[in-house]
């Protein structure tokens, strides 16, 4: 894996979409006219590819953590846009933190912690997305 390859992938984290909820308003959102979910899915694939490169990609990811360009959105309590820098941080975090924080969880009757699988979902996985 070359540094140029990692840099090429990081550049692909920049979205041609605009943040659909820049004010992080709660509740259902309507996607902006022209918001392309295929672009979001391609960025998610690039994110996974960068994650698969492991710690060899860390130096380039660290250098891009201040990149404020819009990358993709996730859905927690609100639909939240992430910058390229935040996605770079998440790629590293997912590799060094073996127990990522879950937004919603509970302790079950079995005494184990159970997390809601849909509490931090990708916007591109939403079936109920409405176009503006």
End-to-end CA distance of the chain: give it in Å, rounded: 41
Domain assignment present for residue 108? The answer is no
Domain assignment present for residue 8? The answer is yes
- Give CA–CA dist 9/53, Å, rounded: 11
Residue % of the chain over a pLDDT of 70:
73
**Residue 72's domain spans which residues?**
3-21+34-97+118-131
Domain assignment present for residue 63? The answer is yes
pLDDT tens for 87-112 read 999 999 988 876 655 445 567 778 77
Q: What pLDDT, on the 0 to 100 scale, is given for residue 18?
A: 92
Domain assignment present for residue 113? The answer is no
The pLDDT of residue 20 is above 70: yes
Domain assignment present for residue 28? The answer is no
Domain assignment present for residue 61? The answer is yes
Q: What is the pTM of this model?
A: 0.75
> Domain count of the chain?
1
Q: What pLDDT, on the 0 to 100 scale, is given for residue 132?
A: 46
Domain assignment present for residue 110? The answer is no
Domain assignment present for residue 102? The answer is no
Residue in 33, 15, 30, 19 with CA at minimum distance from that of residue 81: 19
The pLDDT of residue 54 is above 50: yes
The pLDDT of residue 45 is above 90: yes
């Amino acid at each position: 894996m070359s540094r140029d390859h990692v840099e090429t992938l990081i550049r692909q984290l920049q979205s041609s979409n605009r943040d659909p909820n820049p004010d992080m308003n709660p509740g259902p959102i309507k996607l902006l006219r022209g918001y392309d979910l295929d672009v979001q899915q391609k960025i998610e694939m690039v994110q996974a590819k960068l994650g698969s490169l492991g710690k060899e990609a860390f130096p380039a990811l660290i250098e891009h953590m201040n990149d404020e360009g819009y990358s993709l959105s996730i859905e927690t309590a609100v639909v939240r846009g992430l910058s390229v820098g935040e996605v770079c941080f998440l790629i590293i975090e997912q590799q060094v933190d073996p127990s990522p924080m879950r937004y919603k969880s509970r302790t079950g009757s079995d005494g184990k912690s159970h997390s809601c699988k849909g509490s931090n979902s990708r916007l591109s996985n939403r079936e109920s997305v409405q176009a503006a």
